[in-house]
């Protein structure tokens, strides 16, 4: 790999309350090679351990120089903030990390890498069930960035290198609580997790042609609204450990090798 400049992390808080960017200032280093990774999340709490580590280390994890982008929850903030960021700079890798609800019983904090995403509530509910944009003729299957009707991460080698189980995700504007709708999503989309940002993240990264990974750690069952039965602390702990492990694993690759 060619030599690169080392980037020292400083904190810059965007004037808008929905976005916090940890931006970087340069200092010259001649003996190590640095790759740039953007780690994005809906809330700072979800990646607080990583943020604390970066503050202590000048933005370094292994041979990665990291920036954080906190977008606020939901598809619209993710689309805007990530597109704005990628218009100005293109990192070697973009990671979206967050906790999520699971459609299956599993151990709290189970962490997966998302192989494909679907917009689960973009369409209309009718007597016969849900009709998405493809059913309505408002979008064409397999028209980029879609693969069929899903937003598929094409970097299969990169996902395999994480050592994590791959899973399908769905993204919603309204957290699923209605049993009939949950059943429909399970039967028609077969997801493992639900979030409010994942599909928008996949959409932008595919359009911008950047290497990306979405990591999700399970905090609760989809439809469970009794938060005393949620496991947020365990999910955050496992999520952040997965980020550290991932970047250590990928430190053996150069930027060109990440796109596989």
Q: What is the pTM of this model?
A: 0.87
The boundaries of the domain holding residue 49 are 6-252
Q: Is residue 239 part of a domain?
A: yes
130-162 residue pLDDT tens: 899 999 999 999 999 999 999 999 999 999 999
Q: Is residue 143 part of a domain?
A: yes
Half-sphere exposure of 179 (CA within 13 A, CB side): 0
The number of distinct structural domains making up the chain is 1
User: Which of 194, 187, 184 lies closest to 224, judged by CA?
Assistant: 194
pLDDT at position 191:
97
92-108 residue pLDDT tens: 999 999 999 999 999 99
185-237 residue pLDDT tens: 999 999 999 999 999 999 999 999 999 999 999 999 999 999 899 999 999 99
217, 242 contact by CB (below 8 A): yes
State the Cα–Cα distance between residues 15 and 13, nearest whole angstrom.
6
The CA distances from residue 158 to 41, 192, 256, in Å, are: 20, 20, 12
* End-to-end alpha carbon distance in the chain: 17
State the Cα–Cα distance between residues 67 and 60, nearest whole angstrom.
9
Q: Is residue 1 part of a domain?
A: no
CATH code (residue 26) = 3.40.50.1580
Q: Is residue 258 part of a domain?
A: no
Close Cβ partners of 16 (under 8 Å, ≥ 6 residues apart): none
Residue 239 has pLDDT above 80, yes or no: yes
pLDDT at position 257:
83
Q: Which residue has the tokens 């090679």?
A: 33
Q: Is residue 259 part of a domain?
A: no
Q: Is residue 123 part of a domain?
A: yes
Residue 65 Cα to chain centre, angstroms? 18
User: Which of 127, 42, 128 lies closest to 78, judged by CA?
Assistant: 42
């Amino acid at each position: 790999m060619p030599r690169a400049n080392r980037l020292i992390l400083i904190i810059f808080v965007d004037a808008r309350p929905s976005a916090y960017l940890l931006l970087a200032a340069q200092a010259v280093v001649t003996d190590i090679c640095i790759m740039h990774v953007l780690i994005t999340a809906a809330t700072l709490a979800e990646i607080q351990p990583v943020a604390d580590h970066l503050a202590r280390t000048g933005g370094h994890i292994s041979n990665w120089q990291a920036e954080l982008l906190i977008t606020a929850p939901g598809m619209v903030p993710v689309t805007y903030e990530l597109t704005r960021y990628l218009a100005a700079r293109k990192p070697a890798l973009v990671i979206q990390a967050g906790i999520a609800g699971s459609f299956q019983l599993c151990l709290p904090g189970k962490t997966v890498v998302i192989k494909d995403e679907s917009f689960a509530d973009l369409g209309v509910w009718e007597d016969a069930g849900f009709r998405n944009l493809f059913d309505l003729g408002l979008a064409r299957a397999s028209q980029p960035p879609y693969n069929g009707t899903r937003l598929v991460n094409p970097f299969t080698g990169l996902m395999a290198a994480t050592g994590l189980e791959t899973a399908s995700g769905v993204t919603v504007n309204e957290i699923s609580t209605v049993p009939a709708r949950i059943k429909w999503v399970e039967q028609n989309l077969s997801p493992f997790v639900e979030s409010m940002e994942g599909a928008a993240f996949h959409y932008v990264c595919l359009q911008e042609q950047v290497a990306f990974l979405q990591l999700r750690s399970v905090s609760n069952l989809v439809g469970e609204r009794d938060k005393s039965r949620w496991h947020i602390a365990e999910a955050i702990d496992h999520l952040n450990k997965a980020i550290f492990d991932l970047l250590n694993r990928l430190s053996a690759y150069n930027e060109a090798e990440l796109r596989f």
